[in-house]
Chain A
Amino acid sequence: MSLSNVLHNWSHFRRDREAGGHHDYEHMWGMVVDLNKCIGCNACSVACYAENNLPVVGKYRFEKGHAQHWMRLERYWDEPDIGDDKVAEYQQYGANFMPMNCQQCNAATCEPVCPVAATYHTPDGLNAQVYNRCIGSRYCSNNCPYRLRYFNFWSYYDSSWPAPLNMQLNPDLSVRDKGVMEKCTFCVQRIRAAKDKAQMEDRVLQDGEFNPACVQTCPTSALVFGDLLHMFNAKYDVPESKASQMWRAHQVELGKPEQHKQNPELRGYRVFEALNTDPCIMYLERVREV
């Protein structure tokens, strides 16, 4: 870390902020989760286990809260907006399902607090976690308002993958050992592979060419994944992705802690955005007919 480096980065930083930021991004990966379509089936969660070498921790450790479900499906019973289920005798409007994975916040609360900079923001708009750099201080998961960071309290290799289960492990990413923080990566190994392939073929990455495991398997296509870079880089000359179109249609913008929509009835919203985390996942409000 030399003085010249500091000075160079400082001038870079000044220019960046004055011009409104986000200029050097190559992509801005984001997602849309349509809660009208999400049926709560949990296929996304199991697909994530399969793709990302997630350990099965067993009942005892699950109870302690050591489960490693990067994509988890929350289920709430109440109806805060449309009806008062608290006094009703039955759960007449069903359940509120909420798929939750790392929101890849642009203003992530986890990034600045890592003592060794093992987590940072990539030029792809992802919140990266470098496993071999992590020293396990767990400050990042402490800071995450969504509780989406999972710590490897144990070394699960032998207990979770007795032979020949270990033959299923995905060689495109590591198997994390004790003491390392991990979280959803938007299947960065698939992103990387698709980008490499496009680069080798000298072409631009197309929308829909690849998807994270959860998005690919969702039976109702409630999850949509795409490049949001169009939203603030009008010169991005790639056909706009479906996800970006949806963000635009629901008038949700990145970089704002509060949306002021022209049509406030549009369903798009981001969870806890008032905390100024600037997440890259937009949820579409659940619909019920009353």
Chain B
Amino acid sequence: MSVTQYSSLPCVPIRKVGTEHSGSHRVPLISFLIVALFAGLVLLPVIAHAEVPNAIPPVGTYDGEDVKQPIEFPHNIHADVNKINCMYCHTYARRSKVAGIPPTSKCMGCHSVIATDKERIKKLTEYWEKRQPPPWKKVHDVPDFVHFTHEKHLKRFVFDNEGMPVEHVDEVCAFCHGEVKKMTVAHKVKPLNMGFCRRCHEANGGPFDCWKCHK
């Protein structure tokens, strides 16, 4: 049986005791002692987001700046109040490496009739009529030499995840994007650096090959 541990202490490499490949092999005693030593120092809530089965959420926080967007898009109204599924707008997440900003036609699908008197909707309609997409600013970014695919992560934590209801996909999105439904304009709350990715991969059995993610 494999036992997986992780630590919140910075700059300590994660080591896995036992692997899926190994079949049966004896765990060296010293490893066991080290593990036991650290067991008591586990701080983070291991079973935080109970709605996502078979997943250990990633660790790390980051205090991002508020990014000024052309229209102050309120995620809370859309995702929390109206309970719109993340993937309704960010529809490409399940089929591509990028989640995508929704095409303006998607916004107008509702907002050609809904809340048309509001300031922000008026501004949106202006963009639509000029056939110019609003110049949204990117909030979550990874460096050019990093390759991150949304679709594979969704497959692992949502679609191929037994017991995971699709309606709760925002719990999975929250792993890396934070509680977006509590925000108006999205801002970054997770560091999205390599340590952040590595720890989650370590905890959940993701790939380790450098060339899987670096390009």
Contacts and interface: CB of A to CB of B under 8 A. Distances in A.
Do A and B actually bind?
A: yes
Most buried by B among A1, A4, A120: A4
Contacts of A7: 28, 30-31
B215 A4 contact: no
Contact of A196 (B35, B143, B152, B211): B152
B30 A172 contact: no
Contact of A174 (B15, B28, B215): B215
Given A196-B151, A200-B151, A132 B143 contact: yes
A175 B210 contact: no
A130 interface: yes
Given A1-B13, A8-B17, A128 B144 contact: no
B211 A130 contact: yes
B210 A4 contact: no
Contacts of B130: none
A205 interface: no
Contacts of A175: 144
Interface in B22-60: 22, 25, 28, 30-31, 34-35
A188 interface: yes
A165 interface: no
For chain A, give the interface size range. Answer: 20 to 34
B105 to A, nearest CB: 24
B15 A196 contact: no
Most buried by A among B12, B22, B209, B211: B211
B210 A122 contact: yes
A120 to B, nearest CB: 7
Nearest to A189: B215
Contacts of B28: 4, 7-8, 11
B212 interface: yes
B211 A199 contact: no
A123 interface: yes
A188 B143 CA distance: 18
Interface string A1-28: 1111101100110010000000010000
A87 B210 CA distance: 52
Contacts of A132: 143, 145, 214
B149 interface: yes
Interface string A191-212: 0100010011000000000000
Contacts of B68: none
Given A5-B13, A174-B144, A188 B152 contact: no
B209 A4 contact: no
Contacts of B214: 130-133
Contact of A173 (B13, B34, B215): B215
For chain B, give the interface size range. Answer: 20 to 34
B66 to A, nearest CB: 28
Contacts of B147: 172, 189, 192
A148 interface: no
B21 interface: yes
Nearest to A15: B25
Nearest to B160: A202
Contacts of A2: 12-13, 15, 34
A3 B152 contact: no
B155 interface: yes
Nearest to A123: B209
A130 B155 contact: no
A5 B27 CA distance: 11
B185 to A, nearest CB: 26
A35 interface: no
B204 to A, nearest CB: 16
B15 A122 contact: no
A133 B13 CA distance: 17
Nearest to B33: A4
A168 to B, nearest CB: 16
B152 A8 contact: no
Given A128-B210, A189-B215, 17 more contacts: A2-B15, A4-B17, A4-B31, A8-B28, A11-B25, A12-B22, A24-B21, A122-B211, A124-B209, A124-B211, A128-B211, A130-B210, A132-B143, A173-B215, A174-B145, A174-B215, A188-B215
Q: Which 3 A-B pairs have the closest CB atoms?
A: A4-B31, A5-B15, A174-B145
Interface of B: 12-13, 15-17, 19, 21-22, 25, 28, 30-31, 34-35, 95, 143-145, 147, 149, 151-152, 155, 209-212, 214-215
